[in-house]
Chains A and B, each alone.
Chain A
Amino acid sequence: MFYRESGDFKKTYRDDSQTFPIKFDRRRYYVVMAIAFLVLPWFITDYIANAVMIPFLVWAIAALGLNILVGYCGQLSLGTGGFMAVGAYATYKLMTSFPGMDMFSVVLLSGFVTAFVGMIFGLPSLRIKGFYLAVATLAAQFFLVWLLNKVPWFYNYSASGQITAPERSMFGIIITGPYASPVTGYLFCLILAIGLAWVARNLTRGRLGRSWMAIRDMDIAAEIIGVNPLMAKLSAFAVSSFFVGVAGSLFFSVYLGAAEVTEAFSINVSFAVLFMVIIGGLGSIFGSFVGAAFMVLMPVLLKNILVGGLGWPTDLAAHLEFIIVGALIVIFLIVEPHGLAQMARVLKEKLRLWPFPH
């Protein structure tokens, strides 16, 4: 009924290897794109844009980045918060040092700065593996936050160590700062999120992505068949950190507007992103989006139902939120250890056969 694949023949290699080979998936993708770009900007309120969609897109980019490292290359990292902080502070320094620079360049350059820092912290991954690597990246988390808090140059010697995003624009449209329209912020994040997801998708099914997956599945075997572990691991760290840096940059400049490194980029951020990846599904682009949606939208939705809808006390609602989200995570992981993406995959397989299962 949903999937009618008869008659949908692939006549070229290009057709056969496209991202969405099934017509129904492809159409659904175009519909979602059309809604996101053409319909939503007209209808979303400031609240939905600022408090729901922008954080969702930002966290999705961060989850994509970590998914490349953990899901595709198998290198466990707990340094996401620190790398996001690098992206945010790079953005701040670029914005204040070069006031004329457009936001797009600022965000991408911040990504490159983070990629460089990520590569440096990725070096130990050549010698240490698994849980030990997690500890090494945990050191990155604490070191980076400490460094950005300690050296006043990073926050332009302000009294409190807070960084505030000044107003910056692109093509005359204000992107950051208080006068930026929430819809602009949403579209800016959307373009970056979709663009980066497209890059990630194509990287992961190309030579580079295959070398990552080979390293993930068995690094010794991969080395024997000619995959260079140095190149594979460091490129995974670089690409992952680039994504995470872009997320940190947007998190600071478009979403929060001001940040304090110890609070905004603490170890909790690293865990949150890791949860997004695990709940969404390791090694899945779609999973990064679903995981971010789950972790970002669920608390907001619960809060609005419990406090806004039912009128419960805020503290009770806040505690219930923890309990419900925590319980849902456990339930999801028991029902489907491979994440929400796997659930979607199973559902799709069922629907393709339906109504004639074997």
Chain B
Amino acid sequence: MKIKQLATVALTTLAVSAPVAADLVFPSLSYRTGPYANGGAPLADGYADYFTLLNQRDGGIGGVMASVPECETGYNTAKGVECYESTKGDGALVYMPLSTGMTYQLIPKVTADDIPLVTTGYGRTSAANGRVFSHVFNFPANYWTGASRIINSIMEEAGGDISGKNIALVYHNSGYGKEPIPTLKALAEKHNFNLTLIPVDHPGQEQKSQWLQIRRERPDNIIMYGWGVMNQVALQEAANIRYPMDQMYGIWWSVTENDKLEGMGSHGYKGATFHNVGSNYPIFSDIQKYVTDAGLAAGDGSNVGSVMYNRGLYAAMLAAEAAKTAQNMFGVKDVTSGQMRDAFEVLDMSAEVMAAAGMPNFGPAFQVSCANHGGPGLAAIQQWDGNTQEWKLIGDFEAPDMEVIAPLIKADSEAYAKENNITPRDC
């Protein structure tokens, strides 16, 4: 039987060594299965479709075709390791793991392998400190800026004063859900509101006791950091106790097309976002023409224009722009992952660049620097409209309270640097 094991290993080697023939490789660690598939599938579709569009319309990036090898993780960190190991050898330029847990795992690995890791709107917040995290980028916004933006919005509605108010954080009891707690605690101290922490365990099907607590305590506002099925259940429970929807805020992973109730059920539910919503952009007619109509759409093609699809599209656009920047910076067409990292560090996502990509005003304009890998952290608030059954942006992309967040980022990243013997870079 030992011989059988060895044969299995040998067979695996053979199966793995089939190479992916392409020039610019953007691996997609997706999850189209498991409890979080309803969010993961449109994300992966958007990511893949953008590169298909570039290949079909422009003949690739700077004349070099892009390929997007997909690897199914099921939102499972152990499978994520397997996916990372199996794709990194093919010349991977950048990783976007779409999972906070996987991000934590990949941070040391990508730094050693000299591959940039870009986590748009998730991952380790303190990675914004580019001095410590040389290969990790979390622009344009992160969990802490999102939390601060939500508090700002609550303050605005309350006329600028929220002292004495009760705000509850309903969160996915994982690395992802726990991220905003330090920021919210610091903000609670600054603005004198009371913060109640209500964890929901994976996957979030069962939330009766949590909402019983909410029903008893009747917090003035609820902030939700949920993902996947947890969101729908929470909304249903909120409707059951007749909690006013417009006092509920979700982070950007809790405000998708899946996160709604029938009819006017969740009308008024709000959430933070770092990119625009809807399909009213020039790029979508190109996607229709070159991707969907040509039968090249990833997945079943039904997700085009949804919130998660747009997020995947946006992430792909950032990666493609960085690849272009790298090509210009180094004067080569086949860029390496190290050159990609350098390009991400000087990425200038101006309004013109976004317009040229067919996505004007799709996200905030921002610039990355060596010290700041997180961008300015601008976020907007979107609201669910039950009449038209769609998300609408209310208000502009606004800056968070960096006065509170900056010291937290500094403290957390320095703790990481100390634990891992990293000497912060000079910049």
Contact present for A304 and B412 (CB under 8 Å) = no
Chain B residues in 8 Å Cβ range of A149? 173
Contact present for B81 and A256 (CB under 8 Å) = yes
Query: Which residue of the partner chain B has the closest CB to A180?
Result: B112
Contact present for B8 and A158 (CB under 8 Å) = no
With an 8 A cutoff between CB atoms, is A8 at the interface? no
- Residue from B9, B175, B201 in contact with A160 in the complex, judged by beta carbons closer than 8 Å: B175
CA distance A255 to B104 in the complex (A): 14
Chain A residues in 8 Å Cβ range of B33? 315, 318-319
Query: Which residue of the partner chain A has the closest CB to B109?
Result: A178
Contact present for A46 and B89 (CB under 8 Å) = yes
Chain B residues in 8 Å Cβ range of A52? 9, 12
Contact present for B112 and A304 (CB under 8 Å) = no
Could you give, for residues 325-349 of chain B, a 1 whenever the CB lies within 8 Å of some chain A CB and a 0 otherwise?
0000000000000000000000000
Q: Which of A48, A51, A258 has the largest count of B CB atoms less than 10 A from its CB?
A: A258
CA distance A32 to B9 in the complex (A): 13
Contact present for B108 and A257 (CB under 8 Å) = yes
Query: Which residue of the partner chain B has the closest CB to A161?
Result: B178
Contact present for A55 and B173 (CB under 8 Å) = no
Chain A residues in 8 Å Cβ range of B392? none
Q: Which candidate, B66-74, B156-164, B369-377, is the interface stretch facing chain A?
A: B66-74
Which residues from 244 to 284 on chain A have a C-beta closer than 8 Å to any C-beta of chain B? 255-260, 262-264, 266
CA distance A159 to B181 in the complex (A): 7
Contact present for A167 and B420 (CB under 8 Å) = yes
Q: Which candidate, B13-21, B212-220, B258-266, is the interface stretch facing chain A?
A: B13-21
Min CB–CB distance A174 → chain B (angstroms): 10
Query: Which residue of the partner chain A has the closest CB to B6?
Result: A35
With an 8 A cutoff between CB atoms, is B30 at the interface? yes
With an 8 A cutoff between CB atoms, is B415 at the interface? yes
- Residue from B13, B15, B81, B421 in contact with A305 in the complex, judged by beta carbons closer than 8 Å: B15
With an 8 A cutoff between CB atoms, is B310 at the interface? no
CA distance A162 to B178 in the complex (A): 10
Min CB–CB distance A154 → chain B (angstroms): 13
- Residue from A179, A263, A290, A293 in contact with B202 in the complex, judged by beta carbons closer than 8 Å: A263
CA distance A322 to B113 in the complex (A): 32
CA distance A149 to B177 in the complex (A): 12
Min CB–CB distance B369 → chain A (angstroms): 23
Residue count of chain A within 8 Å CB distance of chain B:
57
CA distance A300 to B82 in the complex (A): 8
With an 8 A cutoff between CB atoms, is A226 at the interface? no
Which residues from 97 to 153 on chain B have a C-beta closer than 8 Å to any C-beta of chain A? 100-101, 104-105, 107-109, 111-113, 124-126
Could you give, for residues 171-201 of chain B, a 1 whenever the CB lies within 8 Å of some chain A CB and a 0 otherwise?
0011110110110000000000000000001
Contact present for A260 and B419 (CB under 8 Å) = no
Which residues from 161 to 191 on chain A have a C-beta closer than 8 Å to any C-beta of chain B? 161-162, 164, 166-167, 177-179
CA distance A313 to B139 in the complex (A): 30
Contact present for B16 and A262 (CB under 8 Å) = no
Contact present for B420 and A264 (CB under 8 Å) = no
With an 8 A cutoff between CB atoms, is A98 at the interface? no
Between-chain CB contacts (< 8 Å), 6 pairs: A46-B89, A177-B108, A255-B78, A308-B18, A313-B32, A318-B32
Chain A residues in 8 Å Cβ range of B37? 315
Contact present for A162 and B15 (CB under 8 Å) = no
Given contacts A293-B5, A315-B72, contact A162 B104 (CB under 8 A): yes
CA distance A51 to B13 in the complex (A): 11
Chain B residues in 8 Å Cβ range of A263? 76-77, 101, 174-175, 202
CA distance A32 to B3 in the complex (A): 8
Chain B residues in 8 Å Cβ range of A159? 124-126, 178-179, 181-182, 408, 412
CA distance A319 to B41 in the complex (A): 14
Chain B residues in 8 Å Cβ range of A331? none
Residue positions of A touching B, CB distance < 8 A: 28, 32, 35, 45-48, 50-53, 55, 96, 149, 156, 158-162, 164, 166-167, 177-179, 255-260, 262-264, 266, 286, 289-290, 293, 297, 300-301, 303-305, 307-309, 313-315, 317-319, 340, 344
CA distance A51 to B419 in the complex (A): 26
Min CB–CB distance B41 → chain A (angstroms): 7
Chain B residues in 8 Å Cβ range of A317? 72
Chain B residues in 8 Å Cβ range of A28? 2
Min CB–CB distance B73 → chain A (angstroms): 9
CA distance A156 to B113 in the complex (A): 27
- Residue from A55, A156, A160 in contact with B104 in the complex, judged by beta carbons closer than 8 Å: A160
CA distance A166 to B422 in the complex (A): 10
The 6 closest A-B pairs by CB, nearest first: A178-B112, A315-B32, A304-B15, A160-B175, A314-B72, A178-B108
Min CB–CB distance B141 → chain A (angstroms): 16
Chain B residues in 8 Å Cβ range of A304? 12, 15-16, 86
- Residue from B2, B89, B182 in contact with A32 in the complex, judged by beta carbons closer than 8 Å: B2
- Residue from A50, A53, A179, A255 in contact with B9 in the complex, judged by beta carbons closer than 8 Å: A53
Contact present for A301 and B124 (CB under 8 Å) = no
- Residue from A166, A178, A314 in contact with B71 in the complex, judged by beta carbons closer than 8 Å: A314
With an 8 A cutoff between CB atoms, is B11 at the interface? yes
CA distance A77 to B319 in the complex (A): 47
Could you give, for residues 51-86 of chain B, a 1 whenever the CB lies within 8 Å of some chain A CB and a 0 otherwise?
000000000000000000011101011100110011
With an 8 A cutoff between CB atoms, is B1 at the interface? yes
Contact present for A264 and B72 (CB under 8 Å) = no
Contact present for A162 and B419 (CB under 8 Å) = no
Chain A residues in 8 Å Cβ range of B11? 301
CA distance A156 to B85 in the complex (A): 28
